[in-house]
Amino acid sequence: MSYGYPRSASAMYQQNAVHGRVEDADPHQLTMLLMDTAIERINQARNHLARGDLGGKAISVSKAMAILVELRASLDHAKGGKLSGRLEALYEYVGRRLLAAQAHNDDAALAESARLLGPIRDSWREIRSQYLAELHSGAA
């Protein structure tokens, strides 16, 4: 017996679709999925803030911050060198901006956070073919 709130079929479908993408994803795809979802949650927070839904904003910001924690934890400083250090600094900064947005209902901080993460996400997409080529050449 479930004591949770009833869920719509659409919400259940979306959750199952995400679980399927995660289960079938390689590390590169997981990073892209995390980046996409972080930006999506930040944009949701902006929409909630614009509508005056502070509870919804808080939930979306919290989810985006949790994703940043995962992105930071996934960094391999031994292999990534200076780049992983720069990414960590960026993720830390974006986390601080999200905290400011949360505390002060600051849409500009939310916009900045999404704007900073966008080029990183786009870069992950651009290097996908290179990643796959390296993966296949290593398996051969």
CA–CA dist 17, 126 (Å, integer): 24
Count how many domains the chain has.
Answer: 1
User: Can you state the angle between helices 77-104 and 54-73, rounded to 10 degrees?
Assistant: 170
pLDDT at site 2: 44
The reply to whether 1 falls in a domain is: no
Dihedral through CA 26, CA 28, CA 31, CA 32, nearest 10? -110
Q: Is residue 133 over pLDDT 90? A: no
For residue 78, the enclosing domain spans 27-139
CATH of the domain at 135: 1.20.120.340
The reply to whether 11 falls in a domain is: no
pLDDT in tens, 32-55: 999 999 999 999 999 999 999 999
The reply to whether 63 falls in a domain is: yes
The reply to whether 20 falls in a domain is: no
CA–CA dist 83, 47 (Å, integer): 32
pLDDT at site 15: 52
pLDDT in tens, 87-123: 999 999 999 999 999 999 999 999 999 999 999 999 9
The reply to whether 10 falls in a domain is: no
* pTM for this entry: 0.80
The reply to whether 95 falls in a domain is: yes
